[in-house]
Amino acid sequence: MQTSETVDVTPQPRPLSDTEKNGYRTLAALCLAKEKQDEMAVFIDNLNDFEGDDGYFTTLNYVMDWEDDHDLFFIMAVDWKEEVDTLEWRIDNAVKNNFGLCISLPDPQDYIDTPVYDPKVFPDYEAALSKHDLKLGFIDTQADEYVFFVHRTADQSAVEEAVRQIGYRYK
């Protein structure tokens, strides 16, 4: 008598390392509104490693996708050739939702037909943020997009360390 057993070859999810989880927790504590941090903490506690995943390719991509689905305006991305109005919308929402500020940002109408990679775009937004002790932090993903978040200027060294813990370089 022969028996036939089905072998499940579906790869099992790998838990994310404690170091990476700590990096995401630290970034959330420094850059995300207090009332959203509990929701993010539960997500991070259950986060798996998505490096090499066929759908997301990296854990960071999975995190950004989840954040977009939950309107968190935390770690965000814009394509290098994206129009400035998308960048402005993301920065404005991050500042309002995470820091409770309504600040005057550069008008996207001043950048008609100007992609975000134009050398004047990010410095103009940095200048507006710096008046409120905020700045843009960039995660170097070696890709053709800008991955960024807003943080307090005073928190830069802690933010740099958190980005390193999630496996990237702060720019």
pLDDT in tens, 45-56: 999 999 888 888
Q: Which amino acid is at 103?
A: I
**In the predicted structure, residue 12 carries a pLDDT above the cut 70:** no
What is the tens place of the pLDDT at every residue in 69-126? 999 999 999 999 999 999 999 999 999 999 999 999 999 999 998 999 999 999 999 9
Output the pLDDT for position 163.
98
Cα–Cα distance between 76 and 93 in angstroms, integer?
11
pLDDT category, 14, cuts 50, 70, 90? confident
Three-class DSSP labels, 19-79: HHHHHHHHHHHHHCCHHHHHHHHHHHHCCEECCCCCCCCCHHHHHHHHHHHCCCCCCEEEE
Q: Residue 142: count other Cβ atoms within 10 Å of its Cβ.
A: 6
pTM for the model: 0.89
